[in-house]
Amino acid sequence: MNIISNLDKRMLLAGVGCAVIILLIDIFNRVLLPGANVKEKEDVNIEIVKFNRTSINGNDFINQYFSSLLAIEKELEQKTKAAQDKLANDRLAKSQQNKAIVKPDILRVAKLVGVISQNGERKAVIEYKNKTGKISLITLPSGKSFAEGKVTQVGVDFVEIEIEGTLAKLPLFKNKNMTFSGEKNKGK
């Protein structure tokens, strides 16, 4: 049996041939041309210098080598501060505007629909529309508070309401600015 095939023999011979050629070139370079391929050793004096630690001022270093980045950072800080100031001013203006919003006038959202007498005491029957738009029918004697007002006097055809120290009369069925319970606005 032939263990090594013809192709394997050829490859083995080619590998041995290459190795022999490389060996011959190496011997030629070492023996025949020693000065050309190998540098001769020169005397070199190595001077050892003691290392001195110096302190570096970080701010000066950054200013010297990264001035453009510092300029960008300062510009960004200015923009951020301006945006924060604008936001604070907007919030202040909005809060002042919210404070300036007048509370709803009770006379515009209340309608005197009747006056009743119960145990000798007059009571005003008021149809009142609250902030959410819900309509309530309330009965109030003199001295009772509702919403932002207080009933001070109940007459035969009017009710007197004190709103933040100011007295206002709400006449019987005279508030034509608003409608209740499917009633059409007659004032317009």
The model's pLDDT over 20-51, given as tens digits with 9 standing for 90+, comes to 999 998 888 777 776 655 555 566 677 888 87
**pLDDT digit string, tens, across residues 60-69:** 877 888 888 8
Decide if 124 is inside a domain. yes
Within its chain, how far is the Cα of 69 from the centroid? 26
**Portion of the chain with pLDDT greater than 90, in percent:** 15
166 near 174, Cβ under 8 Å? Answer: no
CATH of the domain at 165: 2.30.30.830
Sign of CA dihedral 58, 63, 65, 70: positive
Q: Are strands 110-118 and 121-129 parallel, antiparallel or unpaired?
A: antiparallel
Based on the structure, what is the number of domains in the chain? 1
Decide if 120 is inside a domain. yes
pLDDT confidence tier of residue 187, bands split at 50, 70 and 90: very low
Average per-residue pLDDT for the chain: 79
Decide if 151 is inside a domain. yes
Decide if 95 is inside a domain. no
Q: How far apart are CA 133 and CA 129, in angstroms?
A: 6
pLDDT for position 102: 47
Domain around 129: 106-171
Decide if 6 is inside a domain. no
Kindly list the distances between the CA atom of residue 58 and the CA atoms of 61, 63, 73, 95, in Å, as whole numbers in the listed order: 5, 8, 17, 45
Decide if 111 is inside a domain. yes
Within its chain, how far is the Cα of 11 from the centroid? 74
Predicted TM-score of the model (pTM): 0.38
Decide if 164 is inside a domain. yes
Decide if 135 is inside a domain. yes
pLDDT confidence tier of residue 188, bands split at 50, 70 and 90: very low
pLDDT for position 4: 66
